[in-house]
Amino acid sequence: MSVPLIAVATGALDLQALTQEVTGQRPGDGAVATFIGLVRDHNQGRRVSFLDYEAYVPLAVRALHRIVDEIRQAWPDTRVGVHHRTGRIEIGEASIIIVAVSPHRANAFAACRYTIERVKQIVPIWKHEHFEGGEVWLEGATADPDDESARAAAYRIACA
């Protein structure tokens, strides 16, 4: 079954389907790098029960397309797919999957890492952490897609 390259939606993520979609029909490809982000049971000293993800879906999808465009510029031979799950996600379940495909491993790894770093910078999604004794909204980066220093930082990490 065909899946979109970019998705922000409820429901379990399917790495195999996304991998198939990203890798399809390109005999020149030689490397697939994947990333799966999982909900873990601890954070900043708290025992996490589950996470509830909220998204501004149309802008999140737009921001993910922007990241894909950035990757096309930085690594023209590399293609990525990203699915981010929303709603309640239990410990051990995947919240995000990323697939990067390239003729060679270096660009596949770099694009995969770049994608997750940029997701954390500019994609309007929020974790509502439910832990033993309470709940808290996690707040990370002030999203500014035009902040070139943030983009450069993500690129440096990706290529480290």
Size of the site for another protein (CB under 8 A): 34
The rounded distance, in Å, linking the Cα atoms of 145 and 62 is: 11
Does position 142 interact with another protein (CB under 8 A)? The reply is yes
Does position 103 interact with another protein (CB under 8 A)? The reply is no
Site residues for another protein, 5-44, by CB under 8 A, read 37
**Rounded to 5°, angle at Cα 35 from 32 and 37:** 165
The rounded distance, in Å, linking the Cα atoms of 120 and 93 is: 18
The rounded distance, in Å, linking the Cα atoms of 25 and 73 is: 21
Site residues for another protein, 109-138, by CB under 8 A, read 116, 119-128, 137-138
Q: How far is the CB of 58 from another protein (least distance, A)?
A: 4
Q: Which of 36, 51, 61 is nearest to 91 (CA)?
A: 51
Q: Which of 130, 52, 38, 127 is nearest to 88 (CA)?
A: 52
Site residues for another protein, 43-62, by CB under 8 A, read 53-56, 58-60, 62
When binding is defined by CB under 8 A, the residue of 143, 153, 155, 159 that contacts another protein is: 143
Does position 88 interact with another protein (CB under 8 A)? The reply is no
Residue 131, CA atoms < 13 Å, CB-side half-sphere:
17
**CA R_g for the chain:** 16
What single-letter amino acid sits at 155?
Answer: Y
When binding is defined by CB under 8 A, the residue of 27, 28, 73, 139 that contacts another protein is: 139
Q: How far is the CB of 1 from another protein (least distance, A)?
A: 25
Q: How far is the CB of 32 from another protein (least distance, A)?
A: 20
Interface residue list for another protein (CB under 8 A): 37, 53-56, 58-60, 62-63, 84, 95-96, 116, 119-128, 137-146
